[in-house]
Amino acid sequence: MYWVAELQKHLDAISGLQTSDEVDHYLSKVGSLFGFDFYSIVSLALGVETRLTCAILTSNWPGELIASYEQHNIRHSSPVFSALQNSAVPLMALATEAPADPDAKPGIPGELDKVRTSVFFPFLDPEDKRHVVAFHGNTEFPEHEALLELHRLAAGLFEKFCSLRVREENDSPVLSARELECLRWTAAGKTSHEIALILSISEHTVNHYMSSICQKLDTVNRIQAVARAIRTGLIA
């Protein structure tokens, strides 16, 4: 069958990916094949008082949209992610849980307008930690055969993502103790001003540490720095 041959072609290509950037590119390519505009890989874990915590490990969502989600704590209270925490079955959902914020930055609703359907595939990594590979877009839900194909490609990409993550952990740059503190507080959603108060240092010093972190991690902003730090195991 044609789709079986095409599936194998993509799986062979995925097996040959060498970097996280190549995995990101292929996630976008696979999503586009099925009409999706966005992708994400999210880790799920139960934290204090069995509260579900979610961390975006990689995504092509606009940074300001991810920041808005973090600000409104949406992913942590999402019924979709709560359902996926204890499920091995793919889940399809209509629309996206948008921030209910009248002061949200212009442009975010425009990005959300591109999302009508989402497909979520839960997976376990080699340490049995729960993750979700998701695709989002203004498209119809995939038919059964297409969903099976997308599921198989998502599994292949997640497996490659995990193997490269282990390699990146071994090659991770060294951050100072203070840089790690700043990075952890940034991941918790704190601003430079708030971090400065917590650590009893100046806001200028915090910004200096964050600039150094972005340079060491080869990222362009704090959101990417946090995502890479989580992905490579620098912070939990």
Q: What is the pLDDT of residues 203-226, one digit of tens each?
A: 999 999 999 999 888 888 988 888
CA distance 210 to 20: 22
CA 95 to chain centre: 18
Place of tokens 């979520």: 120
3-state secondary structure of 152: helix
Residues 123-147: what's their mean pLDDT? Answer: 90
Band the pLDDT of 50: cuts 50, 70, 90: low
Of 63, 33, 40, the closest CA to residue 161 belongs to 40
Q: What is the 3-state secondary structure (H, E, C) of 163-214?
A: HHHHHHHHCCCCCCHHHHHHHHHHHCCCCHHHHHHHHCCCHHHHHHHHHHHH
> Does the pLDDT value for residue 65 go beyond 80?
no
CA distance 134 to 169: 24
pTM over 0.85: no
74 with 112: CB under 8 angstroms?
no
Alpha carbon separation from 56 to 77, 122, 149 (Å, rounded): 14, 14, 24
Which of the two residues, 232 and 138, has the higher pLDDT score?
138
- Bridge partners, residue 46, by sequence: 52
54-58, 66-70, 162-166, 214-218: the lowest-pLDDT one:
66-70
At residue 47, the pLDDT reads 55
Residue 67 neighbours by CB distance under 10 Å: 17
Question: For a pLDDT cut of 70, what percent of the chain falls above it?
Answer: 78
Residues 8-14: what's their mean pLDDT? Answer: 93
Which of the two residues, 116 and 36, has the higher pLDDT score?
36
Mean pLDDT of the chain: 81
